[in-house]
Amino acid sequence: MGLVEGSDVTASRKLDHIKMVVSSSVESLESDLFEYVRLIHNPLPEMDLDDVDLSVEFCFTGKRLRYPLMITGMTGGHPDVAWINGELASLAEEYGIAFGVGSQRAAIEDPRVSNTYSIAREKAPNAVIVANIGAPQISREYGVKEAKRAVEMVKADALAIHLNPGQEAFQDEGDPYYSNVLEGIKDIADRLDVPVIVKETGTGIPYEVVKELRAIGVKCIDVSGLGGTNWIKVEVLRSKTRYGEARKPAGPLSDYWGNPTAISIIEARLAAPDSFIIGSGGIRNGLEAVKAIALGADIAGIALPVLRALLNGGKASAKRLIEGIIYQVKAAAFMTSSKRLYDLWKAPLVIHGRLLDELSVRSLNPHTYIYRVRTEALMWRMRNE
């Protein structure tokens, strides 16, 4: 299939990205800081494992997930990747978890590749599906019309707007345009029929930005913090592969720039106690997922490991990964005596080491956080459930 000029570049870049992240080391050396969180084990939970029910409403949509997990947006836009969106969406349908398609810019530029995204809804008629557009496009060209097209394309339950200034700064043909984005997001959030989720792409969202977003009416945040897939690293590697050396060398920024996931979750919850928070970025197993939730996220999000499992080991391997994570989260809920998802916000936990230091430097009192902020958030949630 021939693609129109412009979208051709966007689409083939998406293909480069998939090949690169599956075969190369693209995760930050920096940690997500979950190793500085310990949930207190309760050897006497006074309940059965089967009593655990972690179902949750997704992001004020009225639709419920069976498990508090999302496969966050990765792909679409090239004919060779349509099947990936189809398979990931069918996993979401099977397990009752949420699924996001990747940036829909390619199909907004060339509707002939719309099917590489809409296949997700075909394969997952009931699942929560999240559409995706990027902030740089909102800065320059996209408005409510394009946002609505993205939502309609996949019959989405919500629209994710991704923030990726690091990636745009280091991509050879990047679009580092971030002027007037807040105003553009507000316009879209005000006029769209589905909720807007503002998400990062692996470098985290701090307290100050969550406050700004909450002030313009955004109530869903995917923190996508540092500690997992790192887009500065991917773009530097891609440039090296093409030109022998990176055109925009990143130095230590490709491993150490960003807000680690654990601290991003805490800061987001503190800034927006009434919001829906997706804790993601570097989550690789059920223990990290349950820590993300206990720290104040509503659900955990995961991207790269699911893609790698699917591409390297087929659907059976992706299923094993998801089933393992779900079971680990359930077992951890059992061992903290948490029958329901939001009981995890009452679970006692310890924050120590570097995470404790960082919170203190940011003038956040971890004790207040653990006992007051999570309780406040719990009260908001109970009023809305």
Interface segment toward ligand FMN; rule CB under 6 A; list 108-116, 199-207, 211-219, 324-332: 199-207
* 7, 10, 72, 239: residue in contact with ligand FMN (rule CB under 6 A): 72
Enumerate residues 6+ apart whose C-beta is below 8 A from 90: 123, 124
Residue nearest to ligand FMN (CB): 228
Q: What is the DSSP string of 101-117?
A: ----HHHHH-GGGTHHH
Q: Cβ 363 to ligand FMN, closest distance in Å?
A: 27
Residue 78 contacts ligand FMN per CB under 6 A:
no
Residue number with CB closer to ligand FMN (80 or 376): 80
Q: Cβ 72 to ligand FMN, closest distance in Å?
A: 4
Q: Cβ 229 to ligand FMN, closest distance in Å?
A: 3
344, 338 contact by CB (below 8 A): yes
Buried/exposed code over 226-258 (b: 16+ C-beta within 10 A; e: otherwise): bbbbbbbbbbbbbbeeeeeebeeebeebbbebb
Cα separation, 385 vs 374, whole angstroms? 16
Q: What is the DSSP string of 328-342?
A: HHHHHHHTTT-SBGG
Sign of CA dihedral 208, 211, 215, 221: positive
* 201, 203, 239, 254: residue in contact with ligand FMN (rule CB under 6 A): 201
Mark residues 98-127: x for contact with ligand FMN by CB under 6 A, - for none. Answer: ----xx------------------------
**What's the DSSP call for residue 41?**
P
Is residue 298 helix, strand or coil? Answer: coil
* 228, 258, 286, 366: residue in contact with ligand FMN (rule CB under 6 A): 228
Measuring CA to CA, how many Å separate 352 from each of 279, 308, 357? 19, 32, 8
Residue 73 contacts ligand FMN per CB under 6 A:
yes
162, 100 contact by CB (below 8 A): no
- Could you tell me how many residues of this chain bind ligand FMN (CB under 6 A)? 26
Residue 139 contacts ligand FMN per CB under 6 A:
no
Measuring CA to CA, how many Å separate 333 from each of 66, 309, 372? 15, 25, 21
Q: Cβ 316 to ligand FMN, closest distance in Å?
A: 20
Q: Cβ 301 to ligand FMN, closest distance in Å?
A: 7
Tell which residue, 133, 62, 126, 131, has the closest CA to residue 97. Answer: 126
Q: Cβ 370 to ligand FMN, closest distance in Å?
A: 25
Tell which residue, 264, 265, 275, has the closest CA to residue 297. Answer: 265
Indicate the helix (H) or strand (E) that contains 82.
helix 82-95
Residue 166 contacts ligand FMN per CB under 6 A:
no
Residue 160 contacts ligand FMN per CB under 6 A:
yes
Residue 254 contacts ligand FMN per CB under 6 A:
no
Residue number with CB closer to ligand FMN (73 or 296): 73
336, 40 contact by CB (below 8 A): yes
Q: Cβ 92 to ligand FMN, closest distance in Å?
A: 14
* 17, 233, 330, 381: residue in contact with ligand FMN (rule CB under 6 A): 17
Residue 233 contacts ligand FMN per CB under 6 A:
no
Residue number with CB closer to ligand FMN (32 or 273): 32
* 282, 286, 296, 366: residue in contact with ligand FMN (rule CB under 6 A): 282
Residue 304 contacts ligand FMN per CB under 6 A:
yes
Cα separation, 116 vs 79, whole angstroms? 6
Contacts to ligand FMN by CB under 6 A: 17-18, 21, 72-75, 102-103, 132, 160, 162, 199, 201-202, 224, 228-229, 280-283, 302-304, 307
